[in-house]
Amino acid sequence: MDTSRKRQLKALGKAEVARQSDAIHAALSEANSAPIGSDAWAKAYKVGTLREKWLRKRLPILHKDQLHKLFVVHPYEANGWSPFVGGYIMCTHCGSAAPSALPRRLFYWGSCACGNIRWRCLLAWRKGTISDTSAIVPIKLIGRG
């Protein structure tokens, strides 16, 4: 690989990092629009982190209205993404968000609004079903303050 190609790839990498950084900064400022360092920002930050903690503990299925009211939806941009406990996916048909994987639970029975994503757990048995995998997008949820 010659020097000019290395420089070109380095410039492309820096541009991609800057783009992703700007997108995350925009999502964080949408979640908490108060001026940084103010009391209002601190209160909103605490509310946002409590919502994220609740989300990790309960792993609920959030329908479109509740999802956008409580969280900022940010697409999870990663090659080779795989489901993990605590991760979320969004159904593009109905706009609902559901856990991408669940730990063993005594009882969990839920689906997105259109029924594309379904979770069924009872004692040691669990089953997750996705009818249309092309309508699934991995997402990150940032708690609104």
- Mean of pLDDT values over 104-125: 90
- What is the per-residue pLDDT for 104? 80
Q: Name the average pLDDT for the chain.
A: 91
- SS3 at position 71: strand
| pLDDT tens, position by position, 54-111 | 999 999 999 999 999 999 998 887 777 788 888 999 999 999 999 998 888 889 899 9
Number of domains in the chain: 1
Calpha distance 91→136 (Å, rounded): 5
b/e per residue 120-136 (b: at least 16 CB within 10 A): ebeeeeeeeebeeeebb
Pairing of strands 125-130, 136-143: unpaired
- What is the per-residue pLDDT for 11? 94
Is pLDDT above 90 for 28? no
- What is the per-residue pLDDT for 81? 78
> Domain limits at 138?
3-143
| Residue 39 φ/ψ region, left for φ over 0, alpha for ψ in the -120 to 50 degree band, beta for the rest | alpha
- What is the per-residue pLDDT for 1? 80
pTM above 0.85, yes or no: no
- Mean of pLDDT values over 10-34: 91
Is pLDDT above 90 for 123? no
Is pLDDT above 90 for 130? yes
- What is the per-residue pLDDT for 139? 94
Calpha distance 77→11 (Å, rounded): 20
Nearest to 69 by CA among 95, 102, 107, 35: 95
How does residue 144 score in pLDDT terms, banded at 50, 70 and 90?
A: very high
